[in-house]
C-alpha cells in the first residue's frame, strides 16, 4: 500500500491513491483485445503518473514490435500511431511530467533504441515528445479546464494517418467531445474519412439526432517525422 500513496497530504487534498500493477493488468485484461489494437484510443481522466497508460502503451508497442520489428520505418510509423492513441489528464503537474517522461522512456529505451540502436532517429523521438505533450494534459477532468492562468478549456488533438507516413491533426475541446459522446456514438473523435465523404450518420440507431463536433483547429497533413517542427 505504501507504494500506492505518495504522501498523506496528497491523499487528503486530491484523493490520490495509485493503482497497483496487479490491479492494472487485471482491469485491462477485461478489455484485452482493445489494448492489443495499435490504434484503439484510451483516455485516463485521472492518469496520475501513468500506471494504466504505461501498461496500455507497453502492450501496444509489443504488438508493433512483433509485427513490424524488422522494418525500422514501419516500426516508427506504427509505434507513433500507438502513441497517438494514448490520452491522459491529471490535476497535479508533477504527475503529468512523470507520465510523459515514463511513456517516452517506455518507447525509446524499452523498444526503439533497443531495436535500432545507433540507427534510431532524433526526429522520431522529437515527434513522440511532441505528441505526448499534446496528449497528456495538466488539467481538471471535472471542470474540463487546463490548469493555467487564465484557465482555458482542455483541448485534445486527434491524429489520423493519411497516405502511409503522413499525419493529420485536428484539435477538439474536451467539452465538445463529451457532448458528442452523449449521442451514443462509440468513438472519442469523429471519423475523418467518413465525415469528409458525408457518410457520418445524422441520426442514432434510436432515431435521435446526432451531434457531430467540429474541430477547433485543423492542420495540414505532414510527414510524421516533421510534425514537431511544423506544428509548434
pLDDT band, very low/low/confident/very high, at 1 (cuts 50, 70, 90) = very low
Which neighbouring-strand residues pair with 218?
170
66-111 pLDDT, tens digit per residue, is 999 999 999 999 999 999 999 999 999 999 999 999 999 999 999 9
Pairwise pLDDT comparison (207 vs 108), residue with the higher score: 108
Report pLDDT for 213.
Answer: 77
Report pLDDT for 200.
Answer: 46
- Domain around 175: 2-230
pLDDT band, very low/low/confident/very high, at 201 (cuts 50, 70, 90) = very low
Burial class (CB in 10 A: 0-12, 13-18, 19+), 160: middle
Report pLDDT for 197.
Answer: 47
152-190 pLDDT, tens digit per residue, is 999 999 999 998 899 999 999 998 888 755 544 445 565
107-125 pLDDT, tens digit per residue, is 999 999 999 999 999 999 9
Report pLDDT for 222.
Answer: 95
Contacts (Cβ under 8 Å, ≥6 apart) of 167: 80, 84, 159, 160, 161, 221, 222, 223, 224, 227
Report pLDDT for 150.
Answer: 84
CA–CA gap between residue 42 and residue 156 (Å, rounded): 12
The count of domains in the chain is 1
End-to-end CA distance of the chain: 41
- The pairing of strands 166-173 and 155-162 is antiparallel
CA–CA gap between residue 97 and residue 138 (Å, rounded): 9
Contact 53, 46 (CB under 8 A): no
22-80 pLDDT, tens digit per residue, is 889 999 999 999 999 999 999 999 999 999 999 999 999 999 999 999 999 999 999 99
Q: What's the pTM value of the predicted model, to 2 decimals?
A: 0.82
Amino acid at each position: 500500500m505504501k507504494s500506492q500513496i505518495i504522501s498523506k497530504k496528497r491523499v487528503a487534498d486530491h484523493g490520490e491513491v495509485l493503482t497497483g500493477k496487479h490491479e492494472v493488468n487485471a482491469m485491462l485484461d477485461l478489455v484485452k483485445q482493445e489494448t492489443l489494437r495499435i490504434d484503439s484510443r484510451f483516455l485516463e481522466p485521472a492518469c496520475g503518473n501513468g500506471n494504466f497508460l504505461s501498461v496500455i502503451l507497453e502492450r501496444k508497442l509489443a504488438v508493433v514490435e512483433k509485427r513490424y520489428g524488422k522494418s525500422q520505418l514501419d516500426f516508427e510509423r506504427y509505434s507513433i500511431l500507438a502513441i497517438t492513441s494514448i490520452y491522459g489528464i491529471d490535476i497535479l503537474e508533477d504527475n503529468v511530467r512523470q507520465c510523459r517522461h515514463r511513456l517516452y522512456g517506455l518507447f525509446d529505451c524499452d523498444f526503439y533504441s533497443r531495436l535500432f540502436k545507433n540507427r534510431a532517429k532524433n526526429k522520431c523521438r522529437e515527434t513522440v515528445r511532441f505528441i505526448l505533450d499534446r496528449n497528456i494534459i495538466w488539467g481538471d477532468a471535472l471542470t474540463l479546464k487546463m490548469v493555467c492562468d487564465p484557465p482555458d478549456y482542455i483541448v485534445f488533438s486527434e491524429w489520423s494517418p493519411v497516405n502511409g507516413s503522413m499525419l493529420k491533426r485536428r484539435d477538439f475541446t474536451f467539452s465538445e467531445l463529451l457532448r458528442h459522446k452523449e449521442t451514443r456514438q462509440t468513438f472519442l473523435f469523429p471519423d475523418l474519412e467518413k465525415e469528409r465523404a458525408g457518410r457520418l450518420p445524422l441520426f442514432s440507431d434510436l432515431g435521435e439526432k446526432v451531434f457531430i463536433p467540429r474541430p477547433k483547429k485543423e492542420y495540414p497533413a505532414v510527414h510524421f517525422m516533421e510534425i514537431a517542427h511544423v506544428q509548434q
